[in-house]
Structure 1
Amino acid sequence: MSTAFATESPVRPAEPAAPPAQAPLRIRDDAHALEVARALAVDFARDAALRDRERRLPWDELDRFTASGLWGITVPRAHGGAGVSNSTLAEVVAIISAADGSLGQIPQNHYYALEVLRVGGSEAQKSFFYRRVLAGERFGNALAEIGHKDFKRRTRLTEEGGGWQVDGRKFYCTGALYAHWIPTLVATQQGEREVTVLAFVPRRAEGVTITDDWDGFGQRVTGSGSVSFDRVAVDPAWVVPFLASFERPTPIGPFAQLLHAAIDLGIGRGALEATLPFVREQARPWIDAGVERASEDPLTVRQVGDIAVRLRAAEALVRRAGRFVDAAQRSADADSVAAASIAVAEARVLTTTASLDAGSRLFELAGTGATLDGLGLDRFWRNARTHTLHDPVRWKFHAIGNYYLNHKLPPRHGAL
């Protein structure tokens, strides 16, 4: 941490929110994490269509999600966490996303903030925030800004009267509505140089306003609204270097993208899982095909098989990408981080197409019945279409081609 933030603030920042009264379950290892995720997914799937249809924010579900201990599984073992592999983390996210795509996406930035902390935080910062996460506190995000064609960050951390404060406005702040902390990307001056840092702002700090204005037609209950900061006092101990983490090879970018791939994979799985009973039990028989049930129609069977193969291939690429991210975390250099970025980009290409295809085929096989009787099966395609727009897949093809054809390492940023 730069000494630029060492000044004691005369304006006391807000105290962190009190941890939940009951400490979350402590996940033991990878197998335990998967076991807990599978049980939780059964719970989350039960009312997923209702939450989507009525845009019912999942406060109770998030409390159970946090209590499960899954929000702390990336905390290193040295700090009391399970320190699971990235393949396991991706599978946990996919399992939850299959049940409810929104619930699968909400902790994505939580895990991302923990990775930024792992890479760039001081030992004191790691100890402080890891402890709070294991006690049940959640991170949201306030990263993106809108309305500026030059991509210059307007949200700033400035010194005034001997203290530090954040001013600015963010949008697409997934999870901020539900968070105890809002990790916020801000520009600040360090000597002659402007740098970007990640300031962990308490959700209930004075001057923080969260507007629930997310109105996407998919991922409807992610809480991806807007956040504004008006002279919000920030403790210097809660500011972590950010841009410096991309000036050298680090796995932050591929780590973030791996989680996005897992979300899409899960949504695609959920679509397939919803397709099977609908076709078996509720779809009208195709009389012209000479069969009594739709599930016996050879063209229907062929389409289900095609979806299953695409999703299995996507699963394999996600697991493989997780191993590359593991290797980059163990020993981060230009080659290992580039290899991880490309492996994750390959996975994201396939999870994007597989999830969209699974949702589209569900419509094709179920027809208009997919949206009737409260089933809400259309949500899988809407969720996939919304989330896969997070960053452009066409540039991933370009990075992959350049890597293999011209031996050019991909750029280091959060979209690769």
Structure 2
Amino acid sequence: MTIVPQNIADAPRVNDPDTLFQPRPRPTTPAHIIASDQEAIEIAHRLAADFAKGAALRDKEGLLPLEELDAFSQSGLWGITIPKQYGGAGVSYVTLTEVIKIISAADPSLGQIPQNHLAIVEHIVSDGTEAQKQALLGDVLKGIRFGNAFSESGSKHVAAFETRIEPDGENFVVNGKKFYSTGALLAHVVPIVAVNGEGLPHLAFADRSAEGLTIINDWSSFGQRTTASGSVVIDNVKISADRVIPAYLAFANPTPAGAISQIIQAAVDAGIARGTIEETIRFVRDRARPWVDSGQDRASDDQFTIAAVGDLKIRLHAAEALLERAARLIDIALKNPTDETVAEAAVATAESKFLTTEIAILASNKLFELGGTRSTLSAHGLDRHWRNARTHTLHDPARWKPFHIGNYYLNGVKPARHPWL
């Protein structure tokens, strides 16, 4: 499945804010229902092989991944964490992080787009009523994609929400403006984070075509370009009471919601690193020249290049090992949510996030060092790896991770519960 528009000039692009982008149609057939962890991994590998074929072109041209995203959500991978009692596979977070790594190694924009969707699924499971679980999780299994209207670019900090939700008779009305809204442009439903009169965050699920909901295609970052993480304007959007979930409960109570949000981000970075290292190996083998002082005929026989690739692999495997450890601790915390299990999962996830950030940036730098000047030629499109790594790792500052980790181990201070730790 290589999906390339017949006329690229007319294809929908990211950062085209003056063009009204119509909502994507809801799926006419239900998504595939994945039955096991093994099946999820197999499907991820098949999709990744297809996604990789057009990744460089989509990045270069800013092409929105419309067909790819439909194939992704229809594959069933967006519903794999739904518990079995609600019709999902209930896969482990070890499996979920591997799926995200596999997809992100092929195209990290596609790997990032479901991040908020997957975190929201856990909020529904944790904080939704039984009726909400049946309805909203059922929609996911049918292939409905949740977007993201979470962060705000003009507030004091990431947790200072100015978007408001207020009673409107028996229902609610929401007003505000969002940015970094990954997935919203191409979603079917847009969950909005808004605070009530007491300042408590809620999730309000708005249809993508809801009156008063405007999604602007204005994402202009140099990396993760085709996530289309632009603006959402919420102007008196009406939300029925059965589509509002008290999201603050996931952080007021001991749940691994924050670690879940973070570990998906870490998995994207690990995927970026994995894909970049494989690209480096291919380029060194096929295109790079040995340095004049090496005495070798091939760049792949240059002793310093060999050692550098070995170092990258060691660091990647260390980051992946910590990622898997964190995922296992999240699985434990989901089964037995206590202050201690949740803290252990959060700290382990912070450890993995620190290393996945480092290896993603290091690998994307080493690609050019080992590939040589010719690796910078635009024909190869390799700059996307560094741009993606640098952009995505800015999601939350890695410099804060050692502090929280050290404070936990040295002073027994459990980290605060929020989505950015």
Distance 1:234 1:302, change over 3 A: same
Q: Which runs of 4 or more aligned residues in structure 1 lie more than 6 Å from their structure 2 counterparts after TM superposition?
A: none
Match of 2:187 in 1: 179
**CA shift for structure 1 position 161:** 5.3
1:70 aligns with 2:77: yes
1:211 aligns with 2:216: yes
- Secondary structure of the residue aligned to 1:173 is coil
Match of 1:7 in 2: none
Match of 2:358 in 1: 353
**CA shift for structure 1 position 18:** 6.8
1:94 aligns with 2:101: yes
- Secondary structure of the residue aligned to 2:180 is strand
**CA shift for structure 1 position 247:** 1.1
1:148 aligns with 2:148: no
Residue of structure 2 aligned with 1:304, choices 292, 300, 309? 309
Match of 2:6 in 1: none
**1:188-207 alignment runs, 5 A limit:** 188-189=196-197, 193-207=198-212
Aligned CA-pair RMSD: 1.4
- Residues in 2 aligned to 1:267 and 1:391: alpha-carbon distance in whole angstroms: 16
Match of 2:325 in 1: 320
Match of 2:126 in 1: 119
Residue of structure 1 aligned with 2:136, choices 117, 129, 135? 129
Match of 1:48 in 2: 55
- Residues in 1 aligned to 2:107 and 2:170: alpha-carbon distance in whole angstroms: 46
Residue of structure 2 aligned with 1:407, choices 395, 398, 412? 412
Percent same amino acid among aligned pairs? 52
Unaligned runs of 5+ in 1: 1-15
1:167 aligns with 2:175: yes
**CA shift for structure 1 position 164:** 1.8
Aligned residues of 1:254 and 1:341 also touching (Cα < 8 A): yes
Aligned residues of 1:17 and 1:204 also touching (Cα < 8 A): no
Aligned residues of 2:24 and 2:186 also touching (Cα < 8 A): no
- Residues in 2 aligned to 1:371 and 1:53: alpha-carbon distance in whole angstroms: 14
Match of 2:90 in 1: 83
Unaligned runs of 5+ in 2: 1-22
Match of 1:392 in 2: 397
Amino acid at match of 1:154: E
- Residues in 2 aligned to 1:169 and 1:359: alpha-carbon distance in whole angstroms: 34
Match of 2:299 in 1: 294
1:329-381 C-alpha deviation (Å, 9 max, x unpaired): 00111000000001100100110001111111001111332232532111111
Aligned residues of 1:286 and 1:292 also touching (Cα < 8 A): no
- TM (norm. structure 1) is 0.93
**CA shift for structure 1 position 17:** 8.6
**CA shift for structure 1 position 209:** 0.5
Amino acid at match of 1:324: L
**1:13-32 alignment runs, 5 A limit:** 19-32=26-39
Match of 1:157 in 2: 165
- Residues in 2 aligned to 1:93 and 1:136: alpha-carbon distance in whole angstroms: 18
**CA shift for structure 1 position 74:** 0.8
Amino acid at match of 1:101: P
Aligned residues of 1:19 and 1:135 also touching (Cα < 8 A): no
- TM (norm. structure 2) is 0.92
Match of 1:344 in 2: 349
Distance 1:249 1:284, change over 3 A: same
Q: Greater relative contact order (Cα 8 A, min sep 6): structure 1 or 2?
A: 1
Aligned residues of 1:19 and 1:132 also touching (Cα < 8 A): no
